[in-house]
Amino acid sequence: MYFLKIGMADYDIHLSQAKHNEEVAKKLVKEPPCHDWGITAAFYAAIHYFECWLFNRAEKHTETSIPVGEDRKFLYTPHAWREKLVETNLSKEAFKSFRKLRDASETARYLSFHRIHPGDKPSWIDKPAPAYFSPEDAIKLVEKVLNSFKFELGIKI
Amino acid sequence: MSLQSTDTRYESNLPPYSLHIFNEPLNLLKKKQMKASDTYVVYIPESETETITIDEEDIYLIPSLFWATQKARDLERLALYEIAKKFRRVKEVKSIYVQRYGEELQIFVLVSVEKYNDDLMDKLLDMEYDIRKMFPELVFEFFYPPARVSEKKDFIHPQAECIFSR
């Protein structure tokens, strides 16, 4: 039998990881064609900033506050539960900023976009994530949207 | 176009909504190349029956997956109806699929775009926020995969159900 020990980062660790991810994001968005990964780094900065904010609330951590069913299984995924916490505890602006970063990072990483079915057979087109998101899009997501989320959390920009 | 009889088993759980079932092939479904043998359920608010036009551009399909008899599921059916109703107004929304993960509803809103569109995301997220506030008892995950102009489902589970398509 294996026991999984999950080390929960405390406030300071979340904050330092958030800052690190943000720095990486700022660098990557200014280095096309790597700017798409800047969006993902920005999303993971947003997650850590939020977990930092949540640490002093009743929930403390997203993962440890997910409701469970009678069978003790999680009812929701961590992402879904975190978004519920963002939506119910923060402003609409904060919610939109967080969701915008998550959705963009999902598209940038998985890019189901480039797998298109023009006919009966799947075909691949030569337009990966760096072409879907312009460098300007990525810079805006990092410098404007992430900053907006931080502002709503009360974190000094 | 004809709607078949109302299914009274569920009607009582859905005031002020009534439940109508297509159980015969309709021209509009044939045009969409859907299987004529499939059964689709359409929820029409009684107050809006006169204003909703069911035609090629305006189809609400709530699949049988969501026929669950529990009352808790009624709320989900209503939420799916509201989702389809809201998002269909955005011309870039091509189709909407739903699948369940645990107790959460995962909503895939396929959008016909070739480049990231920040204004479109603002519009979609405003709608998503409204839906979440309308149904605080439910937990959602929304996804907005860019699907350009072709239908694509290779990233959506085969059991996911289509609730809107144009």
User: Cα dist. A80→A18, A20, A34, A154, B160 in Å?
Assistant: 20, 24, 28, 23, 18
pLDDT reading at B58 higher than 60? no
User: Cα dist. A144→A24, A32, A139, B134 in Å?
Assistant: 16, 18, 8, 28
- Give B124's pLDDT tier (boundaries 50, 70, 90): very high
Q: Residues in chain A with pLDDT < 50?
A: 1-7, 113-126
Q: Among B104, B114, B146, select the one facing A77 at the smallest CB separation.
A: B104
Instruction: Give per-residue pLDDT as tens, A17-51.
Output: 999 999 999 999 999 999 999 999 999 999 999 99
Confirm or reject contact between A104 and chain B (CB < 8 A): yes
pLDDT of amino acid A39: 97
pLDDT of amino acid B153: 53
**Looking at beta carbons, which residues of chain A come within 8 Å of B121?**
100, 103-104
Domain residue ranges in chain A = 11-63+74-153
Question: Which of the pair, B26 or A94, is modelled with greater confidence?
Answer: A94
**Single pTM value for the model:** 0.73
> Which CATH entry fits the domain spanning A11-63+74-153: 3.20.20.70, 1.20.120.330, 1.10.3720.10, 2.120.10.80?
1.20.120.330
Structure tokens at A58: 């009743």
Residue B49's φ and ψ, nearest 5 degrees, are: -55, -40
Nearest to B124 by CA among A100, A143, A82: A100
From B57's Cα to the closest Cα of chain A, the distance in A is 21
Q: What is the DSSP letter of A3?
A: -
pLDDT of amino acid B131: 95
Q: With H, G, I as helix, E, B as strand and everything else as coil, classify residue B133.
A: helix
pLDDT of amino acid B92: 92
Domain residue ranges in chain B = 8-165
CB A15 within 8 A of CB A48: yes
Confirm or reject contact between B121 and chain A (CB < 8 A): yes
Query: How big is chain A by its Cα radius of gyration, in Å?
Result: 18
**Complex ipTM:** 0.85
Out of A17-26, A108-117, B44-53, B125-134, pick the least confident: B44-53
Question: Which of the pair, A78 or B159, is modelled with greater confidence?
Answer: A78
Confirm or reject contact between B138 and chain A (CB < 8 A): no
User: Cα dist. A66→A85, A146, A153, B8 in Å?
Assistant: 10, 25, 21, 37
**Looking at beta carbons, which residues of chain A come within 8 Å of B146?**
107, 112-113, 132
The runs of H, that is alpha helices, within chain A are 11-29, 35-54, 78-89, 92-110, 129-132, 135-140, 147-153
Structure tokens at A23: 């720095």
